[in-house]
Amino acid sequence: METPKLSTNRANLVYVFPKQKLFLESTAQRKTLLAGRAFGKTFLLLVSIAYFARFMHRAKFFLAGLTFAQLLNIVLVDMADAFKGMGWREYDEKTGLGHYVLFKAPPDHWPKPYKAPKTWDRTITFITGFCVQLLSFERPDANRGGNYDGGLIDESALFKDEWVKTILMPMLMRANTHRFTGNWMHNSLYDFTSNPWHESGKWVFLTEELMKKDPKKYFFIEGNCDENPTLHPDYKKTQEELLSPLQFQIEVLNKRIAKLPNCYYPSFEDAKHCSVDTYRYDQSEKGVWMPTFSDYNPGKALEISFDFNAAICSAVVCQEGVKELRFINSVYAKVADPDRTLVATLAHRLVNTYSGHARKELFLYGDAYGESKSAGTNDTFFDQVRAVFQQAGWKVYDRIMKTNPEHVDKFTLIDKLLLESDDRFPRVRINQNTCKALIISIQNSPIKEGFAKDKRSEKSTSIAQEYATHLSDCFDYILYYKYSAAKKPKSAKQIRFL
């Protein structure tokens, strides 16, 4: 049958500001948008999908995200509003009216994509026969082998360069070329991202370099909230007040950061030690996806390592897996609840977060300083944590260091763990979806002479304290306590200082 026609009434046209319009008007097949908060990255991604659906009848594209939960909770939340502005509505089975369906087979009378997916449970299908499949990279290799007419990547700086080169790109350039001859949108790949916090995300700048050589094929554009005339006039000022200077510079103003030299964790690699495959998904009878964490076991004891400071109290939550120590959460408190100390505030947040935990057993880690008395109370920092958990019905077991280790011993042991060269040690795996602050804290930890950690960030007013070295100290405490007896560290003479 003939492909249904869509209205082109001016009332259905969406408003875009000049820099967004530049992105949409470019006929380059490969585009990168690098922009800060409130530029409208998600809106522009959704408008791009709508354009593809309008002008690429019966094509199949992918929308790739680091996790399926990311796509569900961030991208798709704004989808209905973005499509509504173009006059498109979700299909209503009762009335037979509408233009797209979510996560189920389209109506029988709609045209189907030339390369229709085998299942529709992660697919958005349009009345033109166009569809977009949602690909998550919790298990990257599961996405190999498909055939697509184009694709989009959300928050591409969270992706690895090799995923794009070896998985996504090979799935383009091999589908329906004869059916879309002369259509510049065919085989397009667009990625949308904010500035990368991690070294592994800096591949996103490649489009910028390639555009210098071939501006017809490649398009790179940057932006921030200053370009968006629809924002509240106080938006930028409010963000500057709420965020640390570093967060504001990167996430709002879209400034690039350089790699931190002389890192205290030279063997840490976010690509190896950080795990994105931490969700499991169940779909309800109504087709609603419900993500839960797959690295968390409610039937296993929690191991929590604390660090206490006047400005911030921090903790990392761990559980042992098979040959793994899993860091499943990082939590902090910077403002005390009414009638509570900062320590008790953090402890209550943890108790509330894990109120449904089946095995209420806690192994408590930290350094000797935690047994000091807190200001304004006769209880030590750890006494306060114990009291909160015990009142909630938890059994608490102390794993607190009596004395702090030599700097070189701690440095060497942790580096050996991260190297993964000794089978007697488990692998360290950090939940990338819940432990952003911990990962940044690790990457923002310099080293001083004598193998001591440089903690000047804890005194800085320009660094958000959740990104200073506090959480990395929590990381150190539990690793050293659990594994320092496994093997005596090498001598400092055998280690080359960076």
Q: Are 366 and 400 in contact (CB under 8 A)?
A: yes
Q: pLDDT-derived band of residue 9, with 50, 70 and 90 as boundaries?
A: very low
pTM listed for this prediction: 0.63
Q: Are 255 and 248 in contact (CB under 8 A)?
A: no
Q: Could you identify the residue written with the tokens 């599961």? A: 142
Report the DSSP beta bridge partners of residue 426. none
CB-count exposure of residue 393 (10 Å: 0-12, 13-18, 19+):
exposed
Q: How far is CA 318 from the centre of its chain?
A: 19
Q: Could you identify the residue written with the tokens 């004395």? A: 403
Domain end point (choices 231, 255, 285): 231
The CATH number assigned to the domain holding 432 equals 3.30.420.280
* 221 and 275 both lie in a single domain: no
Cα 371 from Cα 92, distance rounded (Å): 62
Give the pLDDT confidence of 315-343 residue by residue, as tens digits.
999 999 889 999 999 999 999 999 999 99
Percentage of the chain beyond pLDDT 70 is: 90
In a domain, 247, yes or no: no
Give the tokens for residue 349: 């947040």
Lowest mean pLDDT among 106-120, 176-190, 387-401: 176-190
DSSP string, 252-305: IS----PPPSSBS-TT--HHHHEE---EEEEE-TTS-EEEEESS--TTS-EEEE
In a domain, 244, yes or no: no
Strands 150-154 and 188-193: parallel
Rounded to the nearest 5°, which phi and psi values hold at 385?
A: -65, -45
In a domain, 53, yes or no: yes
Domain residue limits at 154:
12-231
Q: pLDDT-derived band of residue 487, with 50, 70 and 90 as boundaries?
A: very low
Give the pLDDT confidence of 55-82 residue by residue, as tens digits.
999 999 999 998 888 888 877 888 888 8
Give the pLDDT confidence of 154-169 residue by residue, as tens digits.
999 989 899 999 999 9
* 203 and 297 both lie in a single domain: no
Give the pLDDT confidence of 268-319 residue by residue, as tens digits.
988 899 988 777 777 776 666 777 777 899 999 999 999 999 999 999 999 9
In a domain, 22, yes or no: yes
Average pLDDT over every residue of 433-454: 88
Lowest mean pLDDT among 41-45, 128-132, 458-462, 468-472: 458-462
What are the Cα distances from residue 137, in Å, to 63, 70, 154, 169?
Answer: 11, 11, 11, 14
Give the tokens for residue 44: 């522009």
In this structure, what DSSP letter does residue 331 have? E
| Residue 293, pLDDT score | 76
Cα 471 from Cα 308, distance rounded (Å): 10
Q: Are 330 and 438 in contact (CB under 8 A)?
A: yes
Given a cut of 70, whether residue 10 has pLDDT beyond it is no
Total tally of structural domains belonging to the chain:
2
Q: pLDDT-derived band of residue 361, with 50, 70 and 90 as boundaries?
A: very high
* 219 and 290 both lie in a single domain: no
Mean of all residue pLDDT scores within the chain:
87
3-state SS assignment for residue 84: helix
Query: Where is pLDDT greater, at 87 or 455?
Result: 455
Cα 209 from Cα 215, distance rounded (Å): 10
The CATH number assigned to the domain holding 46 equals 3.40.50.300
* 289 and 194 both lie in a single domain: no
* 191 and 286 both lie in a single domain: no
Give the pLDDT confidence of 233-271 residue by residue, as tens digits.
899 999 888 776 667 888 899 888 655 557 889 889 888
Q: How far is CA 235 from the centre of its chain?
A: 24
Question: Shortest CA distance to 196 belongs to which of 36, 404, 392?
Answer: 36
Given a cut of 60, whether residue 495 has pLDDT beyond it is no
